[in-house]
Amino acid sequence: MQKNIEAKAVIEVSNLYKDYQTAAGPFPVLKDVNLRIENGDYVAIMGPSGSGKSTFMNILGCLDKPTKGKYVLDGHAVATMEENAVAGVRNKTIGFVFQGFNLLARSSLLDNVALPLVYSGIEKPERHKRAKVLLEKVGLGKHINSRPNQISGGQQQRVAIARALVNNPRLILADEPTGNLDSVTSEEIMALFGELNKEGITIVLVTHETDIAEHAKRQVRFLDGKIVQDTLTNSQLAEVL
Amino acid sequence: MFTAMLGEAWHAMGANRLRTFLTMLGMVIGVGAVVLMMAIGQGAEASVKRSISAMGSNLFVVLSGPPSMGGARSATGNAPSLNVKDANAIAELDGVAGVAPVTMGKAQIVFGSNNWNTDILGTTPSYLDVRSWYLSSGYAFAESDIRSATRVALIGKTVAQNIFGDDIDPLGKTIRIKQSPFVILGVLDSKGQSLDGRDQDDTIIVPLTTAQRKLFGNQLPGSVRQIIVQAESDKAMAMTEEGINGLLNQRHNIREGADSDFSVRNLTAIANSAAETTRTMSLLLGAIASVSLLVGGIGIMNIMLVSVTERTREIGIRMAIGARQRDILMQFLLEAIVISIVGCLIGIGIGVGGAVLVSIFTKAEVIVSTNSVLIAFSVAASIGVFFGFYPARKAAKLNPIEALRYQ
Ligand SMILES: Nc1ncnc2c1ncn2[C@@H]1O[C@H](COP(=O)(O)OP(=O)(O)OP(=O)(O)O)[C@@H](O)[C@H]1O
Ligand SMILES: [Mg+2]
């Protein structure tokens, strides 16, 4: 009950369709997806491989456009926003953690993490200061001058998370953020996400692992491009009851 | 923001040094060629201009021999058909400011153990006025020297340098020209090169009568090879030329329609056409060099296009974390501009260095003007913008997710 009073949707997706254009014609991936995520929520998206989770995340992250349907972010319909405004959203509102890290191979970890700040017009000393704090937070304080190809996959994953957090986004979208991490580091990252969520940041993450999904408040299950299940997690249920 | 992007551009250039270098090379060669060619062209123009102003203004030269012959040959190869009386008659014409009869030849001169082969010019004192030729020391000979055919001489800088060296003051010294002693009255100011490339300072001027009687023997008493005539003004040139032709035809009893035994050349017109020629040449050089600059620009565009394709993923990443289209545009544009400007600076260095080498090895005059450097620089910068824009825009128009998927 209490939740509903202060509830205000950050994400509101209605009747969303996404087709990929392939040589064999349009290939439908998302079929009539509807989802509402409130401010401060913590959602785990699950589902088999190829069910359209990443496709959905990319649309939420304003990286891709739906074929049909409406996506309202923070009360604004993304389809009607100007290109520069969308870039601003990607830069400041959303912190996106990619399934494949997507780090700049030629730049140091410090520069990688600081990169979003470049596009916010923040000066170099401040950029480096903030990037350093985050790299320390994800346990890579000693590697700030390394290149992404000099560290392990798990470490790269953490750099990607640090980069997503550096501009203090209100919404974090993470596509399998623990996919490359061992269980200890996974727990650390999930603890970090838990803290961030307590600070009021909305988190949407994709995962295959049920115990990771348990950290969230809510589980959404995709199957063949549709949401087939949307429930509170056990821990959350325990809290409500 | 801007400095960060500049740093990024520098970084990106450093990432593929060989390629950046090769791209730059096009620019370096283009700018170097422009600077060098402009230096050579401007140098040639300047030296022609100087020769022209050193020549004196509003000048005619009347040569003995028929007009069909080449100027140089008729001046020296023919029996002289002009004489001092012709010169005196021309001096009486309307519009004539000054007249100087000239006879010349080559001779060996000796001072102590030094000797030197040079041009000997026999003329009257008015020659110096007509040619606006001054003395750097001493004084000129006078009409009285003409009358009594004294053995005095004015020597040019090159001659003085070669037989006296730096330490001896030539004034008052006696040199031998064809064995006879001549006293040096004065040293001529430097005139530099003439339009046909002769060193005008490699000359000795002696009284006309002395040259005629004592140096070059004489076929006909009083004959001269040329008469230099100065008109009062630019406007009087046409009238003066007509006057000279009429007068000499009459004096030499040449019938209407027959070949005359002299020719009148308008030196000013010749000089102007020489100036025109060098101007055309320097334009042509500039045009050829500009083509290489253009080729350099296309090279930059080519590499930038490759670079955009290669870095598609990087562009996708940048867009995914908030780069606006104009940030991406600026990044690639800046890279193209930095490449062209750095290439341009190196090119300017090479062009200037080349110009210095050219002037050392060919003794030709070259002028590297600030203007030519500024032009090269601004053209290079605009080429960077112009040829960098298309690839940069192509990068900026990429769709983030497609760029991210690019492999
Ligand atoms: N660019 C594309 N062009 C065509 N088809 C695509 C493209 N990207 C994804 N697909 C297809 O869309 C479907 C959904 O892909 P998506 O990446 O969203 O799956 P996912 O749920 O994230 O899977 P995983 O758990 O393996 O990451 C897949 O069948 C895939 O083959
Ligand atoms: Mg996926």
Å from CA of A52 to ligand 1 middle: 6
Task: Determine the Cα–Cα distance for residues A192 and A189; give it in Å rounded to an integer.
Answer: 5
Å from CA of A54 to ligand 1 middle: 7
Least confident of A159-168, A217-226, B46-55: B46-55
pLDDT surpassing 50 at residue A88 = yes
Do B323 and A58 lie within an 8 Å CB cutoff? no
Task: Determine the Cα–Cα distance for residues B341 and B298; give it in Å rounded to an integer.
Answer: 15
pLDDT surpassing 50 at residue A6 = no
Instruction: Please give the average per-residue pLDDT across A195-212, as a whole number.
Output: 93
Neighbour-count burial for B83-111, b at 16+ CB within 10 Å, e otherwise: bbebbebbbebebbbbbbbbbbeebebeb
Average pLDDT, chain A: 90
* Percent above pLDDT 90 for chain B: 26
- Give the model's pLDDT for residue A139: 87
Do A90 and B1 lie within an 8 Å CB cutoff? no
For ligand 1, atom 10, which residue shows the shortest CA distance?
A20
pLDDT surpassing 60 at residue B68 = no
| Contact assessment for residue B332 and residue B308, using Cβ atoms and an 8 Å cutoff | yes
- Give the model's pLDDT for residue B18: 87
Residue bearing the bigger pLDDT, B66 or A203: A203
Q: Which of B193, B159, B153, B148 is nearest to B173 (CA)?
A: B153
The pair of three-digit structure tokens given for residue B124, joined into one six-digit string: 């009257």
pLDDT surpassing 70 at residue B72 = no
Residue B177's SS3 state is: strand
The pair of three-digit structure tokens given for residue A25, joined into one six-digit string: 């014609």
Do B15 and A58 lie within an 8 Å CB cutoff? no
Residue B404: its chain A contacts at CB < 8 A? 63, 98, 102
Instruction: Please give the average per-residue pLDDT across B339-360, as a whole number.
Output: 91
Residue B80's SS3 state is: coil
Residue bearing the bigger pLDDT, B1 or B311: B311
pLDDT surpassing 60 at residue A82 = yes
Any residues with CB less than 8 A from the CB of A205 and at least 6 apart, and which?
A43, A44, A45, A97, A172, A173, A174, A175, A176, A177, A193, A212, A216
Among the partner-chain residues A84, A104, A118, the one whose CB lies closest to the CB of B317 is A104
- Give the model's pLDDT for residue A9: 78
Q: Which of A181, A101, A201, A168 is nearest to A139 (CA)?
A: A181
Question: Ligand 1 atom closest to Cα of A58?
Answer: 18
- Give the model's pLDDT for residue B69: 46
Task: Determine the Cα–Cα distance for residues B381 and B205; give it in Å rounded to an integer.
Answer: 55
- Contact of B15 with chain A, judged by CB distance below 8 Å, is answered with yes
pLDDT surpassing 80 at residue B137 = yes
Other CB atoms within 10 Å distance of the CB of residue A189? 24
The pair of three-digit structure tokens given for residue A157, joined into one six-digit string: 């994953």
Do A167 and B322 lie within an 8 Å CB cutoff? yes
Average pLDDT, chain B: 86
- Give the model's pLDDT for residue B71: 44
- Give the model's pLDDT for residue B152: 94
For ligand 1, atom 13, which residue shows the shortest CA distance?
A50
pLDDT surpassing 50 at residue B19 = yes
Do B11 and A124 lie within an 8 Å CB cutoff? no
- The string of pLDDT tens digits covering residues A158-194 is 899 999 999 999 999 999 998 877 888 888 889 989 9
Q: Which ligand is nearest to the CA of A49?
A: 1
- Give the model's pLDDT for residue B382: 86
pLDDT surpassing 80 at residue A2 = no
pLDDT surpassing 90 at residue A26 = yes
Helix, strand, coil percentages for chain B (3-state, nearest 5): 55, 20, 25
Least confident of A16-25, B147-156, B348-357, B385-394: B385-394
- The string of pLDDT tens digits covering residues A99-108 is 888 999 888 9
- pLDDT confidence bin for B7, thresholds 50/70/90: confident
- Please tell me what DSSP assigns to residue B260: P
Interface of B with A in 290-329 (CB under 8 A): 313-314, 316-327
- Give the model's pLDDT for residue A148: 94
pLDDT surpassing 50 at residue B74 = no
Q: Which of A233, A131, A115, A138 is nearest to B7 (CA)?
A: A115
Interface test with A, best of B6, B307, B314, B321 (most A CBs within 10 A): B321
pLDDT surpassing 90 at residue B206 = yes
Residue B312: its chain A contacts at CB < 8 A? none
Instruction: Please give the average per-residue pLDDT across B142-161, as a whole number.
Output: 92
Instruction: Please give the average per-residue pLDDT across A128-153, as a whole number.
Output: 92
Task: Determine the Cα–Cα distance for residues B76 and B102; give it in Å rounded to an integer.
Answer: 11
- Give the model's pLDDT for residue A7: 52
**Least Cα separation, residue B8 to chain A (angstroms):** 10
Å from CA of A48 to ligand 1 middle: 11
Interface of B with A in 347-406 (CB under 8 A): 399-401, 404
Any residues with CB less than 8 A from the CB of A100 and at least 6 apart, and which?
none
List residues near ligand 1 (CB under 6 A): A 20, 22, 27, 29, 49-55, 99; B 405
Do B322 and A64 lie within an 8 Å CB cutoff? no
The pair of three-digit structure tokens given for residue B147, joined into one six-digit string: 């009358």
Do A88 and B322 lie within an 8 Å CB cutoff? yes
Residue A121: its chain B contacts at CB < 8 A? 1
Among the partner-chain residues A64, A106, A116, the one whose CB lies closest to the CB of B321 is A116
